[in-house]
């Protein structure tokens, strides 16, 4: 059965402020609502493997919605991180920091990992998807142009793959492209089908 049919009588909710995630969800051709995220714990155990952090944070983001759930509502929460040399690169805190981050990514491979949790009244599943991204060596002019014009301050890793820097700078990716944009839609689709079939 198609996801459209499986969702009949259900309410699917994307809990995210990201306009990119909303556009990506729209590509699945299903009805959904968008809710503002609620405050959740953003820390994780020091001992946690980097690769497990986004899925953990996605589950944390679901916690404050517990009282809003009924049997027919499914809330999708998610978290995306950029990892370079086993270190998490967050959102830039300033223009200078954004340029510094892009200098680090320049000429290197990094990994984008998105964790996703699907939560309803009685069950929760979570998973994460990782994609390797290869930037060619960027010039200082290119980094300055991008940061000054596109102001990527709300973006993990200080870039949007769907923006100029992704067009001119990303040589190749290995994995899901939409994951790099912020939501691994293919896996979300499959997991929603499974979630609703069980």
Report the alpha-carbon distance of residue 113 to residue 48 in Å, rounded. Answer: 15
* Residues classed as catalytic: 79
Kindly tell me the burial class for residue 171, based on how many C-beta atoms sit within 10 Å of its own C-beta (0-12, 13-18, 19 or more).
Answer: exposed
CB of 184 to a second copy, least distance (A): 10
Distance CA 157, CA 124 (A): 29
169 binds a second copy (CB under 8 A): yes
**Nearest distance, CB of residue 156 and a second copy, angstroms:** 18
Site string for a second copy, 75-114 (x = CB under 8 A): ----------------------------------------
Give the β-pairing of 11-15 and 33-35: parallel
Cβ distance to a second copy smaller for residue 64 or 103: 103
Which residue carries 């979570």 as its tokens? 126
Residue pair 170/134 in contact (Cβ under 8 Å)? The answer is: yes
How many residues bind a second copy, per CB under 8 A? 32
Burial category of 104 from C-beta neighbours within 10 Å (exposed 0-12, middle 13-18, buried 19 and up): middle
| 72 near a second copy, judged by CB under 8 A | no
Question: Of the candidates 10, 73, 186, 195, which one interacts with a second copy according to CB under 8 A?
Answer: 186
Which residues contribute to the site for a second copy (CB under 8 A)?
1-3, 24, 27-29, 131, 136, 141-142, 145, 149, 161, 163-164, 167-178, 185-186, 189-190
């Amino acid at each position: 059965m198609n996801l459209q049919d499986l969702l009949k009588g259900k309410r699917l909710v994307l809990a995210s402020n990201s306009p990119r995630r909303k556009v990506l969800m729209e590509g699945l051709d299903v009805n959904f609502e968008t809710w503002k995220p609620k405050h959740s714990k953003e820390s994780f155990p020091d001992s946690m493997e980097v690769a497990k952090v986004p899925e953990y944070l996605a589950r944390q983001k679901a916690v404050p919605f517990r009282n809003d759930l009924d049997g027919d509502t499914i809330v999708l929460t998610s978290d995306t991180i950029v990892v370079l040399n086993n270190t998490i690169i967050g959102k830039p805190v300033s223009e200078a920091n954004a340029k510094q981050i892009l200098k680090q990514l320049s000429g290197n491979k990094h990994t984008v990992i998105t964790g996703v949790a699907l939560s309803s009244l009685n069950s929760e599943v979570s998973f994460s998807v990782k994609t390797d991204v290869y930037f060619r060596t960027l010039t200082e002019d290119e980094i300055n142009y991008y940061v000054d014009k596109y102001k990527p301050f709300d973006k993990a890793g200080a870039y949007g793959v769907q923006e100029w820097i992704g067009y001119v700078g990303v040589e190749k990716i290995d994995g899901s492209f939409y994951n790099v944009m912020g939501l691994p839609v293919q896996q979300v689709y499959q997991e929603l089908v499974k979630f609703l079939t069980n």
